[in-house]
């Protein structure tokens, strides 16, 4: 997104050439600075300021002129280190999911499946294949909601410094596995609870540990 914005950026008009007004446009010496390089070659060195009426105020480093620029917004660059990290836990096309299995540390288990879609007719619904306890009547909307969330599961917080004994992920409280029609499989592990709302989570394929809120996947 940041590179695309730079490619689309177009300088329009000079709004001011007075150094005393740079703070007014959020373009002072402590403002957001973006340097664009190709190897060691500096291609652009910009201060990016406030946005007004879809135009962003930009100043070339070392110059006083404030330009109004289109195609670029401050929020696309103004992020801390956490803002540049990929927050995706699991991602897949939910229409491709054909099997969902949830097991708990205590031994509880439920396995759901969904028949392959036909060319015509209504979309197939989730069915209970196996369950450690009787599930009647089965609420199909719960399965749909769980798969929908799992397909685009993201975090807002990383638990980089958490110790294994703290996360509990070596022996997870909940294991969630989804199988796709392509043969691909994703497994999410839910460990210990932190505080009132957060849980330690990771995938079986990735060592990165996340913190996520209570949800339909963690009940």
HSE (side-chain half, CA atoms, 13 Å) at 85: 15
Question: Is the confidence at residue 183, as pLDDT, over 80?
Answer: yes
Cα separations (Å) of 77 from 13, 64, 81, 85, 142?
22, 21, 11, 13, 38
Task: For residue 128, give both structure tokens.
Answer: 């209970």
Which pLDDT tens digit goes with each residue over 144-157? 999 999 999 999 89
In this prediction the pTM is: 0.77
Task: For residue 167, give both structure tokens.
Answer: 């996360």
How far apart are the C-alpha atoms of 146 and 123, rounded to whole Å?
17
Which pLDDT tens digit goes with each residue over 62-115? 999 999 999 999 999 999 988 899 999 999 999 999 999 999 999 999 999 998
> Exposed, middle or buried, 18 (CB in 10 Å: 0-12/13-18/19+)?
exposed
């Amino acid at each position: 997104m940041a590179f695309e914005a730079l490619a689309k950026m177009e300088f329009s008009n000079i709004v001011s050439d007075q150094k005393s007004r740079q703070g007014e446009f959020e373009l002072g010496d402590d403002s957001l600075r973006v340097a664009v390089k190709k190897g060691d070659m500096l291609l652009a060195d910009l201060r990016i300021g406030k946005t007004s009426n879809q135009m962003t105020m930009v100043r070339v480093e070392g110059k006083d002129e404030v330009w109004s620029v289109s195609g670029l917004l401050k929020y696309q660059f103004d992020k801390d280190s956490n803002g540049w990290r990929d927050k995706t836990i699991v991602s897949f096309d939910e229409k491709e999911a054909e099997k969902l299995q949830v097991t708990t540390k205590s031994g509880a288990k439920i396995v759901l499946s969904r028949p392959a879609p036909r060319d015509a007719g209504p979309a197939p619904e989730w069915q209970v294949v196996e369950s450690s306890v009787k599930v009647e009547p089965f609420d199909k909307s719960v399965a749909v909601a769980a798969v929908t969330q799992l397909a685009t599961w993201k975090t807002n917080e990383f638990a980089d410094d958490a110790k294994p004994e703290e996360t509990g992920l070596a022996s997870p409280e909940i294991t969630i596995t989804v199988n796709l029609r392509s043969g691909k499989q994703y497994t999410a592990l839910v460990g210990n609870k932190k505080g009132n709302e957060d849980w330690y989570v990771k995938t079986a394929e990735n060592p990165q540990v996340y913190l996520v809120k209570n949800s339909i996947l963690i009940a």
